[in-house]
Amino acid sequence: MSRLLEALAIGALTAALGLPAWSQGKFPSVGRDATPKEVAAWDIDVRPDFKGLPAGSGSVDQGQDLWEAHCATCHGIFGESNAVFNPLVGGTTADDIKTGHVATLKRLDFPGRTTFMKVPTISTIWDYIHRAMPWDNPKSLAPNDVYALTAYLLNLANIVPADFTLSDKNIGEVQQKMPNRNGMTTQHAMWPGNEFGAGKVKPDTQATACMKNCGGPTPEITSELPEHARNVWGNLREQNRTVGPQRGADTSKPEGKLGDAAGPVNVVGPAGNDSPNAKAFALTQELGCTGCHNMDGKLVGPGFTDVAKKYAGKTDYLEGKIKAGGSGVWGETPMPPQNIPDADLKTIAEWLAAGAGK
């Protein structure tokens, strides 16, 4: 059969069988069917009804070992640390487990909100650990590891006992003990679909556009930044354009008088490129390195790219050399020891060791 006839025959067959239009579609040759293995590789979400949850199990004890190896550096041994991220556990009670409402959320004197004070669904915890943790090595945990870590957290939150083993079989029972399982409402007007409160609930503020003599006689200032916070965000003078109807306030010194703003404005940053390389390079400018070092080729000292070539990968050596200074490697002009912050030193040494890219 010729190709044309074949095509016609298939077309006729499709029409005769009433196959839906998507089977060949408006856009032939665009996209393809996903294989079952491809879908399995990416379809990792776990819903509140546990659809998507792989079979498996893990104990609190196993979880503790994994926790100390992979999680404690950021979250603390007991999930309580707020050094890097918000605390995970704390603030819930045995009574909350009964009611499904975390009572401390009503307390104005209890500012902290831990993950277990908020999360209504255990599926959320399982799904998130599985997809995104550990923070620097996500998707490295096997399902049983995730069960174990979830069990450990549940134990820290006093939801399950220390000898508990969490599995796909009993996770539904655990759900019934989540301290804030009844703590969510969808009765609001901020869902853009037809479900929940949509159409039934009005926006919660019903402001009107008063135009004349609104409010009291004189506005009263109820909140402003304290004077000592004036320069916390850096000099705001250098965070505004150098021309226009106003300038940034010079927060490096006390407030001036009207008219002072029209003085000189320092331009602080390279516009346009703020890639890590550009930042490292900007640092070399900020610290004065570019007074002696060019990007390529010798200036007073060797070019950055030449240094990078000679000491590729040798971050530690470069750190030491920048700190100590010296002469003889690139010529007799000595480089003085550099007293710069350790973090900056490291950034520059790493940038050089990685090739001094632009």
Partner 1 sequence: MTDLQPQPAPASQPRGLVRKAPENFLDRASVREVESHGIQGRRGFIRGAFAAAMAGGAVLHATAQPADSGDGDPAILKLPKHSTSLGQPVAAHPYGLPSKYEGNVQRRQSPGLTQTNQASVSFAPIQSLLGIVTPSGLHFERHHQGWWDIDPQQHRFMINGLVKTPKVFTMDDLMRLPAVSRFHFIECGANTGMNWGNVAVPTAQYTHGMLSCCEYTGVPLITLLEMAGADLKKGKFILAEGADGSSMTRTIPIELVTSGQVLVAYGQNGEMLRPENGYPLRLVVPGVQGVSWVKYLRRVELGDMPYATKDEAVHYIDLIPDGQHRQYTSIQECKSVISTPSGGQVLLDKGFYSISGLAWSGRGKIKRVDVSVDGGRNWRTARLETPVLDKCLTRFNIDWVWDGKSTIVQSRAMDETGYVQPTYKQLRAVRGSRSIYHNNAVQSWLVQENGEVKNVQVA
118-157 binders of partner 1 (CB under 8 A) = 118-121, 123-124, 127-128, 131-132, 135, 138-139
Contacts of 282 (CB under 8 A, 6+ apart): 269, 270
For partner 1, the binding residues in 1-20 under the rule CB under 8 A are: 20
Stretch that binds partner 1, among 62-70, 165-173, 214-222, 342-350 (CB under 8 A): 214-222
Residue 315 beta carbon to partner 1: minimum distance, rounded to whole angstroms: 19
Q: Does 255 bind partner 1 (CB under 8 A)?
A: yes
Residue 87 beta carbon to partner 1: minimum distance, rounded to whole angstroms: 12
> Among residues 234 and 331, whose Cβ is nearest to partner 1?
234
Residue in 139, 182, 143 with CA at minimum distance from that of residue 166:
143
Cα 290 to Cα 348: distance, rounded to the nearest angstrom? 12
For partner 1, the binding residues in 322-351 under the rule CB under 8 A are: none
CA distances from residue 18 to 21, 25, 239 in whole angstroms, order as listed: 9, 14, 64
Residue 264 beta carbon to partner 1: minimum distance, rounded to whole angstroms: 4
> Among residues 59 and 117, whose Cβ is nearest to partner 1?
117
Cα dihedral sign, 127-133-138-139: negative
> Among residues 190 and 324, whose Cβ is nearest to partner 1?
190
Q: Does 256 bind partner 1 (CB under 8 A)?
A: yes
Q: Give yes or no for a contact between 334 and 325, defined as CB atoms under 8 angstroms apart.
A: yes
Q: Is 314 exposed, middle or buried (0-12, 13-18, 19+ CB in 10 A)?
A: middle
Phi/psi at 3 (nearest 5 deg)? -60, -40
Residue 90 beta carbon to partner 1: minimum distance, rounded to whole angstroms: 14
Q: Could you tell me how many residues of this chain bind partner 1 (CB under 8 A)? A: 133
Residue in 303, 219, 235 with CA at minimum distance from that of residue 267:
235
Residue 330 beta carbon to partner 1: minimum distance, rounded to whole angstroms: 17
Cα 136 to Cα 139: distance, rounded to the nearest angstrom? 10
Stretch that binds partner 1, among 2-10, 245-253, 305-313, 330-338 (CB under 8 A): 245-253
Q: Which of 2, 17, 42, 163 binds partner 1 (CB under 8 A)?
A: 42
Q: Which of 5, 30, 94, 343 binds partner 1 (CB under 8 A)?
A: 30
Cα 348 to Cα 253: distance, rounded to the nearest angstrom? 31
Question: How, if at all, do strands 57-59 and 165-167 pair?
Answer: antiparallel
Residue in 125, 135, 46 with CA at minimum distance from that of residue 88:
125
Q: Does 192 bind partner 1 (CB under 8 A)?
A: yes
Q: Give yes or no for a contact between 313 and 307, defined as CB atoms under 8 angstroms apart.
A: no
Q: Which of 207, 328, 332, 339 binds partner 1 (CB under 8 A)?
A: 207
Q: Does 64 bind partner 1 (CB under 8 A)?
A: no
> Among residues 59 and 96, whose Cβ is nearest to partner 1?
96
Q: Give yes or no for a contact between 64 and 152, defined as CB atoms under 8 angstroms apart.
A: yes
Tell me the two tokens of residue 28: 């032939």
For partner 1, the binding residues in 274-313 under the rule CB under 8 A are: 274, 278, 281-282, 285-286, 288, 290-291, 294-295, 297, 299
> Among residues 59 and 90, whose Cβ is nearest to partner 1?
90
For partner 1, the binding residues in 94-123 under the rule CB under 8 A are: 101-103, 105-106, 108, 111, 113, 115, 118-121, 123
Q: Does 177 bind partner 1 (CB under 8 A)?
A: no
Stretch that binds partner 1, among 65-73, 228-236, 305-313, 333-341 (CB under 8 A): 228-236
Supply the Cα-derived Rg of the chain in whole angstroms.
31
Residue 47 beta carbon to partner 1: minimum distance, rounded to whole angstroms: 6
> Among residues 15 and 243, whose Cβ is nearest to partner 1?
243
CA distances from residue 209 to 46, 201, 216, 316 in whole angstroms, order as listed: 45, 21, 16, 64
Look at phi and psi of residue 231 and say left if phi exceeds 0, alpha if psi is from -120 to 50, else beta: alpha
